[in-house]
Structure formats: structure tokens, C-alpha cells
């Protein structure tokens, strides 16, 4: 077979292979998400749905696919979760999980597994969510003004006021000691994560700028928190306190 004829055959074969791959990957799970409480979702509510491999009882579930949409409609909220069908093993067990968030805080989540795809389960799930109770720690965290007493084990300059307040809608604001800042945060249980912070851009003394830089660098590493004796400890991934703050009177 000459080169011209080989090229002619190669094109349709490649096209068929691409089509087969696309078909194999073009799979979806549909369903609805609802809850029993008689309350309307506030503006900015977000629905997250995950497809999970829950086969191993001795290990955390593996996320196969995820979706995140703004929940503009009131429940029941329809969803379509696409996934790569080539990642599905008929010998394994899969389930979908859903949660509704407002301002980064989880308000509702499912507490019952919803199997899909294998072992007789289909591709449709009707998910009932339960209201997530606000832990006492979260209630104590949100609202007060917290003033830094230590940043990274180096203390703080007494005359500088580095502070932060956690708003109820997932926004934090305060001062690094020189510039005002604001940005989003995500709170789930004792897990805490800050998003990018926007701030003013004033020039201050070297000491103020250094303290502010240390504070913002620490916020970027925060993954949790702990409140003890009116002191807020912001923790890194290992659970070490990077920032210690006192509740303002």
C-alpha cells in the first residue's frame, strides 16, 4: 500500500477513534436536590455535587467527578453531573454526594449514601439534604473583632493593630496593621481556608509593612482554627498555630 492510500485510511480511522473516545467519556448522572425545611435559599447559594468511589471502607472516598453551580432555583434543584465513563469499574461501588453552601459555609448536605452506576444502581439520584447545625466554635468565630497577639511565633508590634472579622456571609475583613483588606473564606466544621485578599495600597513604616506581610502570608497557609479561652488560633495543615488572636472587648 502506497503512502497516499495509507494516509487516506488513517484519516477515517483516527476520526472513528476520536468519536469512540468522546462517546466513552460523554456520560452523565442526573437528579434533583431538595430539603424539607420551609426556607428560601438566599442569593449567592451554590450547589456542589460529587461522584465518589466508595468501594473501600478503610479509605477516604475517591472523587471521580464534581460540579458546582449557582443555585438560582428553589428546591428541588435539578443537576447534571458529567463524568469520564472510562474511569468506572463495574466491580466497584459509586455514590453521589451533594451540599448547598452560602458564603462558603455548608448549610445543607446529604447524610445518606445515594448509589449510582454499578451493582444495579442507575444514573439518576434524588438527593434529600439535611440542615447542618452550626457548631459552637463557628458561632463564636463569626462576628467578633479578633486582634493579633502573635504571628508566626514572632509576636506583634504593640502599637500596630492587626485585626480580622469574620462576616456571616463568608467574607472576612480587617487591617493588616497598615492597609485595610477584605476577602472570602470557606468554613466547614473546624476547617478554614481563605481566598485571595484585596487591600488598600498605602505605604507605612517598615515595621508595619513587615507585620502586615507576615499576617497575609500566614492567612494563605491557614487550613483550620481552634478557639480556647477567648483566644483564636489559626492553624496550618499540620495543626500548628500560625496566628494567635484575642477577641476584642
Structure confidence at residue 136 (pLDDT): 64
**Residue range 166-201, pLDDT digits in tens:** 987 788 999 999 999 999 998 887 889 999 999 999
Based on the domain organization, do 239 and 142 belong to the same domain? yes
Same domain, 150 and 212: yes
Domain with residue 205: its CATH number is 2.40.128.270
Q: Are 241 and 233 in contact (CB under 8 A)?
A: yes
Cα four-point dihedral sign 133, 134, 136, 137: positive
pLDDT in the model for residue 135: 63
Give the CATH number of the domain where residue 60 resides: 2.60.40.2990
What does the alpha-carbon distance between residue 33 and residue 20 come to, in Å, rounded to a whole number? 32
228 plus 142 within the same structural domain? yes
pLDDT digits (tens, 9 = 90+) for 63-80: 999 999 999 888 999 999
Domain termination residue (choose one: 103, 131, 159) = 131
- Name the domain boundary from 81, 106, 131: 131
According to the model, what pLDDT value does residue 200 have? 94
* pLDDT for residue 23: 45
- Same domain (yes/no): 126, 145: no
List residues bridging with 87 in a β-sheet: none
Could you tell me the maximum CA-CA distance found in the chain, to the nearest angstrom? Answer: 87
Confidence (pLDDT) at 198 = 92
Q: Are residues 108 and 205 in the same domain?
A: no
Residues 113 and 190 in one domain: no
Tell me, rounded to whole angstroms, the distance of Cα 161 from its chain centroid. Answer: 30
- pLDDT tens digits, 196-231: 999 999 999 999 999 999 999 999 999 999 988 889
Q: Are residues 56 and 148 in the same domain?
A: no
Cα separation of 59 and 72, whole Å?
A: 35
Q: What is the DSSP letter of 133?
A: P
With a cut of 80, say whether residue 6 has pLDDT above it.
no
Residue 61 lies in a domain: yes
| pLDDT above 90 for 111 | no
* pTM (predicted TM-score): 0.50
**Of the candidates 131, 157, 177, which is a domain's last residue?**
131
238 is a domain residue = yes
Residue 71 belongs to what domain range?
Answer: 27-131
Query: Using the 8-state DSSP alphabet, how is residue 190 labeled?
Result: T
- Could you tell me the pLDDT band of residue 245, with boundaries at 50, 70 and 90? very high
**pLDDT for residue 11:** 47
Its sign, for the CA torsion 82, 83, 84, 88, is negative
Band of pLDDT at residue 133, cut at 50, 70 and 90: low
Average pLDDT over residues 151-165: 93
pLDDT bracket for residue 161 (50, 70, 90):
very high
Residues 106 and 168 in one domain: no
Residue 126 has pLDDT above 80, yes or no: yes
**In the predicted structure, residue 153 carries a pLDDT above the cut 80:** yes
Number of domains in the chain: 2
Residue 9 has pLDDT above 60, yes or no: no
- The answer to whether residue 67 is domain-embedded is yes
pLDDT at 28: 96
Amino acid at each position: 500500500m502506497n503512502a497516499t492510500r495509507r494516509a487516506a485510511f488513517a484519516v477515517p480511522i483516527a476520526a472513528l477513534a476520536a468519536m469512540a473516545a468522546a462517546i466513552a467519556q460523554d456520560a452523565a448522572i442526573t437528579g434533583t436536590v431538595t430539603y424539607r425545611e420551609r426556607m428560601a435559599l438566599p442569593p449567592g447559594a451554590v450547589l456542589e455535587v460529587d461522584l465518589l468511589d466508595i468501594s473501600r471502607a478503610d479509605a477516604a472516598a475517591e472523587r471521580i467527578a464534581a460540579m458546582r453551580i449557582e443555585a438560582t432555583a428553589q428546591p428541588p434543584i435539578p443537576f447534571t453531573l458529567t463524568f469520564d465513563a472510562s474511569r468506572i469499574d463495574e466491580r466497584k461501588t459509586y455514590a453521589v454526594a451533594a451540599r448547598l453552601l452560602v458564603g462558603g459555609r455548608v448549610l445543607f448536605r446529604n447524610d445518606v449514601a445515594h448509589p449510582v452506576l454499578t451493582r444495579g444502581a442507575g444514573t439518576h439520584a434524588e438527593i434529600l439534604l439535611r440542615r447542618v447545625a452550626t457548631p459552637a466554635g463557628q458561632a463564636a468565630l463569626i462576628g467578633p473583632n479578633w486582634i493579633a497577639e502573635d504571628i508566626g511565633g514572632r509576636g506583634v508590634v504593640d502599637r500596630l493593630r492587626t485585626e480580622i472579622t469574620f462576616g456571616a456571609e463568608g467574607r472576612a475583613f480587617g487591617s493588616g496593621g497598615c492597609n485595610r483588606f477584605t476577602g472570602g473564606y470557606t468554613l466547614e466544621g473546624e476547617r478554614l481556608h481563605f481566598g485571595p485578599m484585596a487591600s488598600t495600597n498605602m505605604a507605612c513604616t517598615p515595621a508595619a509593612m513587615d507585620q502586615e506581610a507576615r499576617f497575609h502570608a500566614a492567612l494563605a497557609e491557614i487550613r483550620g482554627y481552634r478557639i480556647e479561652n477567648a483566644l483564636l488560633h489559626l492553624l496550618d495543615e499540620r495543626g500548628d498555630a500560625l496566628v494567635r488572636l484575642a477577641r476584642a472587648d
